[in-house]
Amino acid sequence: MLLPLLAASVAVAVLGALLWRRRPVVASATTVEADERSQLLALVGEPILERLGDGGLVLPDGTSVETLYRPLEQVGGDFLGSIEVDGDAVAFIGDVAGHGLDAALVALRVKEAVAAAIAAGASLEEAVTSANDLLHAEVSGFATFFACRLGADGQLTYVNAGHVPPLVVEGAPPDQLEPTGPLLGAFPHEYEAATVEVAPDDRLLAFTDGVTEAFGARGGLSEQEIRRLSAERGGFVRLGDAVAAKRPGERLRDDLAAFELTVGGDEGELPDG
Amino acid sequence: MDDQPFSVEVRRQRGAAVAIVRGDLDLATVPELAAAVDGLLVGEQVTRVVVDLAGVDFVDSSGLTSLIQARRRAEEEGVAFALRSPTERVLRTLELMMLTTVFEIE
């Protein structure tokens, strides 16, 4: 699974380089060239989009991950993923600083690295620490990142690398999951995980700062608005439209990505003790 | 939009150079701050660079990463680097990214 993805990133990087080489012609740029460029971007963007987004996850016990992905341009720095590992649900979300193809390529590398490490048996903190090393030493990029793993024992383990705190919209305190380490790419750092106990039907909502105004982004939703919306049936699906509705007629200022993790199972299916 | 225009003003205070930033520090304005800090580092001898954020009430992820990069460049030149007087909102952003312990804040 990793090799085709890597091959795709290389192809995309080559195409990206070709696109940028077209730029020096700016002085003599014509509308035709601009059109060609946007057509090329659309061609390149589509396969990246498919890899940066995620279709969600449903496990046999009813645990589910629903996803929302709406980039600002054709491609952007937001990414998310969900995978099943040894019967556990793993979901993660990140936001690479910047927009466009450059940010998208960095996002793709981080997403692949984290997913491959976790699938190969690494703990969340190991996967996040190695993603930080990758960004800091090799790629020279920055990203906020949140990953969580729901075990069959009702424990939710998570690592939050400077990411806007996900909200526990249904469940016991804490009502949000604060950072456990700095954003990725800034400094060498050994990340640590934290754990909270969850019960069937608890819900966790994670998003990028395009959704919220927690980081001071203008036009985002407040925590109260997000909580109110999430409490409604089907509220999660309407999150993107709710952000757009805050500034009617204006372009969105940032990428949007979010996932909602719903804890499945009932008392009978959970292990004793 | 009634945002105040972005500006970076540089002042010397003994051995330190202070870059006074006003307006939103985001994707659009980051290059201006980076140029100002680079100018301070390659110009006359300074032992300390301070970025004054009292006039900034919005920093996005690009703005934050530009501050990290500025700190890194200063470190490479052997120059101390600090942030001054961040507003409550900017401080909250730094806290969210767990960067308050990393930056010297005066």
Q: Give the pLDDT band of residue A116 (cuts 50, 70, 90).
A: very high
pLDDT at A273 over 50: no
What percent of chain B is modeled with pLDDT above 70?
96
- State pTM to two decimals: 0.79
CA distances from A25 to A40, A185, B41 (A): 16, 33, 33
Q: Which residues in chain A have Cβ-Cβ distances shorter than 8 Å to B61?
A: 95, 97, 142, 144, 183, 209, 215
Q: Which residues in chain A have Cβ-Cβ distances shorter than 8 Å to B57?
A: 216
The per-residue pLDDT for A249 is 62
Q: Which residues in chain A have Cβ-Cβ distances shorter than 8 Å to B58?
A: 216, 218
pLDDT at B46 over 80: yes
The per-residue pLDDT for A21 is 40
The per-residue pLDDT for A11 is 52
Region of poorest pLDDT, from A62-66, A176-180, A257-261, A267-271: A267-271
Mean pLDDT for chain B overall: 88
pLDDT at A132 over 80: yes
pLDDT at B83 over 90: yes
| Chain B nearest C-alpha distance from A46 (Å) | 24
**Mutation target among B73, B97, B101, B102 for the A interface, most CBs of A within 10 A:** B97
For chain A, the three-class secondary structure string (H helix, E strand, C coil) is CHHHHHHHHHHHHHHHHHHHHCHHHHHHCCHHHHHHHHHHHHHHHHHHHHHHCCCCEECCCCCEEEEEEECCCCCCCEEEEEEEECCEEEEEEEEECCCHHHHHHHHHHHHHHHHHHHHCCCCHHHHHHHHHHHHHHHHCCCEEEEEEEECCCCEEEEEEEECCCCEEEECCCCCECCCCECCECCCCCCCCCEEEECCCCCEEEEECCCCECCCCCCCCECHHHHHHHHHCCCCHHHHHHHHHHHCCCCCCCCCEEEEEEECCCCCCCCCCC
Residue pair B10/B45 in contact by the 8 Å Cβ criterion: no
The per-residue pLDDT for A264 is 93
Whether residues B89 and A183 touch (CB distance < 8 A) is answered with no
Whether residues A216 and B68 touch (CB distance < 8 A) is answered with no
**Mutation target among A145, A159, A167, A183 for the B interface, most CBs of B within 10 A:** A183
The per-residue pLDDT for B102 is 84
Whether residues B97 and A217 touch (CB distance < 8 A) is answered with no
Region of poorest pLDDT, from A59-63, A81-85, A140-144, A213-217: A213-217
Q: In chain B, which residue's Cα lies nearest the Cα of A99? A: B27
Instruction: Name the residue facing A187 among B27, B58, B102 (closest C-beta).
Output: B102
Q: What are the helix and strand counts (H, E) for chain B?
A: 3, 5
A33/A45: higher pLDDT: A45
B67/A216: higher pLDDT: B67
Give the model confidence (pLDDT) of B2-45 as tens digits: 457 899 999 988 778 999 999 999 888 999 999 999 988 887 68
As a whole number of Å, the end-to-end CA separation of chain B is 31
| Chain B nearest C-alpha distance from A113 (Å) | 21
Count A/B contacts: CB-CB distance under 8 Å: 58
A14/B68: higher pLDDT: B68
Q: Give the pLDDT band of residue A230 (cuts 50, 70, 90).
A: confident
ipTM above 0.90, yes or no: no
| Chain B nearest C-alpha distance from A91 (Å) | 20
Instruction: Give the residue-averaged pLDDT of A93-118.
Output: 90
Region of poorest pLDDT, from A188-192, A214-218, A256-260: A214-218
Q: Which residues in chain A have Cβ-Cβ distances shorter than 8 Å to B27?
A: 98-99
pLDDT at A30 over 60: no
Mean pLDDT for chain A overall: 81
Q: In chain A, which residue's Cα lies nearest the Cα of B96? A: A162
CA distance A207 to A205: 7
Give the model confidence (pLDDT) of A10-28 as tens digits: 555 544 444 444 344 444 4
pLDDT at A139 over 70: yes
| Chain B nearest C-alpha distance from A268 (Å) | 39
Q: In chain A, which residue's Cα lies nearest the Cα of B100? A: A182
